[in-house]
């Protein structure tokens, strides 16, 4: 492997030259196809750390779908029911645990995952490559590729799809550097290990934390470790279902993540599952139409319904949405910093949150705990902030 690599360009096409390099040893990445750009490799290296740590923490294959240096989704390779397979467009496909992990990671927020960078904690197999072959994606990083998977992926985007292999033995240096406006910043690498021990300080009256909830809280915290701050992550059954990233206020993080979690659940409503799409409509067009139908802008689709549907669809009303959302439960929530006000808990509960992990340390911790107790929510103080910039 080489010590440096020329990139297509920097963050924007006018930012040239652009390269990545390493001072000691060789670069731990090998490009098997394509020509990655600056943002591509930022996504690749951040997403790789996430899936590697998530797999080590859970003992399961892990995958992530990254966009603009934050995850649109992250998940472990648990089986899916028929409803999830339908809304993730993988019904009828053969699914390995790794393929299930990626389908879950991409599927929870398909709007944000459009044109993503995929990351896998292990080897990309034929089943995972088959899913990627049907999706709009910029590239993938994995520990390796089977011959069949590589054959499938090399055909994507007329051979220009970015395929990167990561050296599993790579051990990064302890100090990180970043230049801003010609000034170099230095800090110790965030090598915090996230596991069940971080969930031991339960501060609410309700103390019951089942193994599934521990797994989901760990998934949320590891996801947040590689999400642009401020950030909040909702997780259900081993997959992120709503991520609020890069917001200036905590409540806006929670609202954004909660609205994404709500959309994920509303997509599973029987009426949404039976939308009468025309034959041949592209899956990303379906995603766009569904997203608009679930928003306040649904008239944009209804006025042009003949473009998408064989008959005019019936809209879910506000009361119907609220009633359906009441059935979403056992959701875990992680926050990269403390909740300064109880409004975050009120909003989280509306999206089925039953378990929370956050650092604690606010002057209003007592207020936040009281609101959790009001709803019977279990909350652990981790004592560790997870800012990422």
Do 149 and 222 reside in the same domain of the chain?
no
Domain membership of residue 165 (yes or no) is yes
Q: Which residues are catalytic?
A: 67-68, 230, 389
In a domain, 295, yes or no: yes
DSSP 154-178: TTGGGGT-EEEEE-TT----SEEEE
Q: In the predicted model, is pLDDT for residue 245 greater than 70? A: yes
The tens digit of pLDDT for each residue in 323-366 reads 999 999 999 999 999 999 999 999 999 999 999 999 999 999 99
Q: What is the DSSP letter of 298?
A: T
Do 244 and 197 fall within a single domain? Answer: yes
Domain hosting 301: range is 277-315
pTM: 0.96
Q: At which of 137, 171, 205 does a domain end?
A: 171
pLDDT at 300 over 90: no
We report the CATH number of the domain holding residue 84 as: 3.40.140.20
pLDDT of 212 reads 97
Give residue 156's pLDDT band: very low, low, confident or very high (50, 70, 90). Answer: very high
The whole-angstrom separation of Cα 251 and Cα 271 is 31
CA distance to 86, 257, 261, 298, 376, per residue, from 212 (Å): 24, 20, 18, 36, 17
Instruction: Indicate whether 146 and 260 sit together in one domain.
Output: no
Shared-domain flag, residues 144 and 193: no
- Express as a percent the part of the chain with pLDDT over 70: 100
Q: Are residues 281 and 364 in the same domain?
A: no
Both 71 and 201 in one domain: the answer is no
Final residue of a domain: which of 108, 142, 171? 171
- Residues 222-238, mean pLDDT to the nearest whole number: 97
Same structural domain for residues 98 and 226? no
- Position 48 in a domain: yes
Q: Report if residue 182 sits inside a domain.
A: no
pLDDT band of 286, cuts 50, 70, 90: very high
Overall average pLDDT of the 54-65 stretch: 97
Return the ∠ at Cα 150 (arms to 149 and 153), rounded to 5°: 85
Is residue 389 assigned to a domain? no
Domains contained in the chain, number = 3
Judgement on whether residues 310 and 332 belong to the same structural domain of the protein: no
The answer to the question of residue 77 being in a domain is yes
- Pairing outcome for strands 331-335 and 231-236: antiparallel
Give the mean model confidence (pLDDT) for residues 248-254.
96
Is residue 320 predicted with pLDDT exceeding 80?
yes
> Are 104 and 145 contained in the same domain?
yes
Segment 179-195 shows an average pLDDT of 95
208 and 79 co-located in one domain: no
The pLDDT of residue 232 is above 90 = yes
Q: Is residue 179 part of a domain?
A: no
1 pLDDT band (50/70/90 cuts)?
Answer: low
Same domain, 166 and 194: no
Position 122 in a domain? yes
Average pLDDT of the residues in 157-185: 94
349 and 242 in a common domain: yes
Domain finish residue from 114, 139, 171 = 171
Instruction: State residue 213's pLDDT score.
Output: 98
């Amino acid at each position: 492997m080489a010590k440096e690599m020329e990139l297509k360009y920097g963050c924007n096409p006018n930012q040239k030259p652009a390269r990545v390099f390493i001072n000691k040893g060789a670069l731990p990445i090998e490009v098997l196809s394509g020509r990655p750009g600056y943002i591509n490799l930022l996504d690749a290296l951040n997403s790789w750390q996430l899936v590697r740590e998530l797999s080590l923490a859970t003992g399961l294959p892990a995958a992530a779908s990254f966009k603009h240096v934050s995850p649109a989704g992250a998940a472990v390779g648990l089986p899916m029911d028929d409803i999830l397979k339908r809304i993730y467009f993988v019904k009828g496909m053969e699914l390995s645990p790794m393929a299930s992990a990626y389908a879950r990671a991409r599927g929870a927020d398909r709007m944000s995952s459009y044109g993503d960078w995929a990351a896998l904690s292990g080897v990309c197999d034929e089943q995972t490559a088959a899913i990627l072959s049907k999706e709009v994606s910029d590239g993938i990083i994995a520990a390796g590729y089977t011959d069949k998977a590589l054959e499938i992926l090399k055909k994507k985007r007329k051979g220009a799809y970015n395929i990167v292999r990561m050296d599993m033995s790579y051990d990064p240096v302890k100090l990180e550097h970043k230049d801003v406006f010609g000034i170099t910043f230095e800090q110790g690498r965030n090598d915090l290990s996230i596991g069940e021990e971080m969930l031991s300080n339960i501060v609410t009256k309700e103390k019951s934390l089942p193994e599934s909830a521990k797994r989901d809280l760990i998934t949320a915290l590891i996801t947040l470790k590689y999400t642009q701050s401020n950030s909040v992550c909702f997780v259900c059954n081993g997959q992120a279902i709503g991520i609020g990233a890069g917001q200036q206020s905590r409540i806006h993080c929670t609202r954004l993540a909660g609205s994404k979690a709500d959309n994920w659940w509303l997509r599973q409503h029987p009426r949404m599952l039976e939308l009468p799409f025309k034959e041949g409509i592209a899956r990303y067009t379906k995603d766009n139409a569904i997203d608009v139908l679930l928003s306040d802008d649904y008239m944009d689709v209804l006025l042009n319904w003949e473009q998408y549907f064989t008959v005019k669809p019936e809209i879910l009303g506000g009361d119907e949405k609220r009633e359906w959302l009441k059935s979403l439960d056992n959701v875990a929530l992680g926050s990269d910093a403390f909740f300064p006000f109880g409004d975050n808990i009120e909003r989280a509960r509306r999206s089925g949150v039953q378990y929370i992990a956050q650092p604690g340390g606010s002057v209003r911790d007592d207020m936040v705990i009281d609101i959790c107790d009001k709803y019977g929510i279990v909350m652990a103080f981790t004592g560790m902030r997870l800012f990422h910039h």
